[in-house]
Each structure stands twice: as structure tokens, then as C-alpha cells.
Amino acid sequence: MTEVEGKQRVCVTGAGGYLASWVIKFLLSKGYMVHGTVRDPGDMKNAHLTKLENASENLQLFKADLLDYEGLCAATDGCTGVFHVACPVPARSNVPNPEVELIEPAVTGTRNVLNACTKAKVKRVVVVSSIGAVVFNRSWPKDRPMDEECWSETELCKAVQEYYCLGKTVAESEALEYAKSSEFSIITVCPSIIIGPLLQPTMNASSLFLLTLLKGGIESLENKARPVVDVRDVAEALLLAYEKPEAKGRYICTSYVIRMQDLVNKLKSLYPNYNYPKSFTAIEEDVKMSSEKLQNLGWKYRPLDETIVDAVKRYEESGFLSKDQDYGTSHLLWPRKVSNQL
């Protein structure tokens, strides 16, 4: 990555999170001055940020959450760009109050960020969405890879109780609509299941996708196809979307589609001593998704084996594989199969 000319000041929401931590690491390495929003700057779970290269000079943490408009205004003040990464991701399927826990932070939170950006007179905003805002579409032709024209149906998201995807769909569509009357440009990026090494000391929802397969305790698993992407490749995609003047609209960000049995076999070949699922149930389901638009912008992604090896090394170093905590298996089921008939 090349350094930026001069010292641009940018803001990253949800700074202590999995993806945002890598975004900040890359921004700092390129010479950006970074404002990061966190709920509690003094919390030890954010301490890894202060240890990043150039953090002591160029990183400032602000106390703010997505429903704190004034806090967001303080964090974005003086910034030329914003990376809106923060959004609650459920680590379980049964969220007691999805409106409060998932939808309001996604939708109202994004509105607050964009309004703060208007007040700060920023030049560009990159909003992290999700393939959850893409895949729940019953009318999309099965033989055509899903691309940026494909949107999840909000009524379908409600019907199958995928409230995270509902929140992401509404928030992203509102952001792109906001861009039509805004003085700054808004780019949205829709990553698939994000895996790879962690910088933060706590386990996050998407990393459970790999960790649970390694930790064992699963007898049988549906052999579903899953789109995955390396966390570092997503972070680089966000910087690309911010820095490339020609970047416009929406971008799907995914690298590989792999069936669960193939993923387990790959893990077994690399790490034979873990306790893997014993059997797999055949599923007539395929996932076709295209990141061609993002690749045309110059995006590249790393080999899947590199992602897995770097992720597992970090799990082992952090003790996640030796901890007794039961994380459940609901994250292995996402996104659920969407049939043409409900």
C-alpha cells in the first residue's frame, strides 16, 4: 500500500471491532490521521488499537455509539472521509429484541453517521453493508451470479426472521438514497462471511464460523455452500473504495464459495488433530456471487489457505481453541437457504 500525500484525517466507526481494527491498521500504515469511535476508550478490549504502528501520533479514540449523534459529530469533526463500519452482528440466531438490538443501530445509526458527515462537510463516506443485503431475493435468476443489482427483499427478511440482514438492507438502501441529495459521495461495500486473523482480544461473530469447526462438538452438519472473504482483503477493499475517484455506488466483496465438507477437509489436511464434524447432510443449494465490479476497481484477494492458516494461528495464540466456552452453532447456518416458495 502506498502512503497518502499529506495527512488526511478520517473517522472509523466501531473502531475496536474485527474489521474496523484492520481498517485502522492499514490507514495508519498509509499515513492517515484517524479518529475512531468506541463505546469506552478506556476499555481494555480497545487497547490493541493503541499498540498499532503510528497509533501514538495519529490515532484518537472518541466515546460514541451509533445512537449518540453529538458524539458522532465530535468524532467526524475535521475529517475529510468516514468509514462507517460499526454495526451489531448477532453471534446467535435467537435475538430477544431484534428491533432494539439489530435494526435500530443499523438504520438509525447509519442516518446519524450520515447526518454527522453532512455537518462535518466530509468528501466521501464508505459504508460497510453485507451480502445479507443481497442474498434474500427470490426473483433473481438462479443461473445468474448475484451482483450489485441484486437486493434482499425486506419482507422476505422479516418472514425468515433474518433481522440483521433486514437492518443492513434498509440501512444500505437509505445510504445510497441519501447520496443522491448529498454534497459528498457515498460508497457501499457488501462483504460475505469475513474470516481471517483477529487483531482484537475478543472473539467476534463471523470468526466463530471457523472456530466452531475446529473446537468440535458437532456430529452432523449440512453441506451448505458458503461465500467467504479475508478480513484484510475487505479492509483493503474499503480503502480502495475511498481512495479511487472513480469508485461509485455499491460493491460486493467476496473471494471464494466453499462447501462446508470441503472446508472441513481443508482444515483436516492442515490441522489433523482437531475434533471435526463426523458427517454431512447433502443440500441442493448453490451460491453464485460476483465481485467483478470491485475487481475492476483494482481489488485482489489472497489464497484461502493463507486466510485459514493466519486465522488459526491467531486462535491458538489467543487461547480461543482451549477455552471451554460454548459458542453454539447458529452462525454456521447463516445465511439460511431461501426457497422460491415460503
Cα–Cα nearest to 15, from 78, 57, 54, 64: 64
Residues annotated catalytic, as ranges: 168
Distances (CA, A) of 194 to 33, 185, 198, 263, 321: 26, 25, 11, 14, 19
Query: If you write DSSP's letter for every residue of 120-180 in order, what string do you get?
Result: HT-SEEEEE--GGGTS--TTS-TTS-B-TT----HHHHHHTT-HHHHHHHHHHHHHHHHHT
Q: What share of the chain is helix, strand, coil (3-state, %, to 5)?
A: 40, 15, 45
Residue 85 sits at φ, ψ, to 5 deg, of -105, -30
Instruction: Scan for cell 449523534, then name that residue.
Output: 69
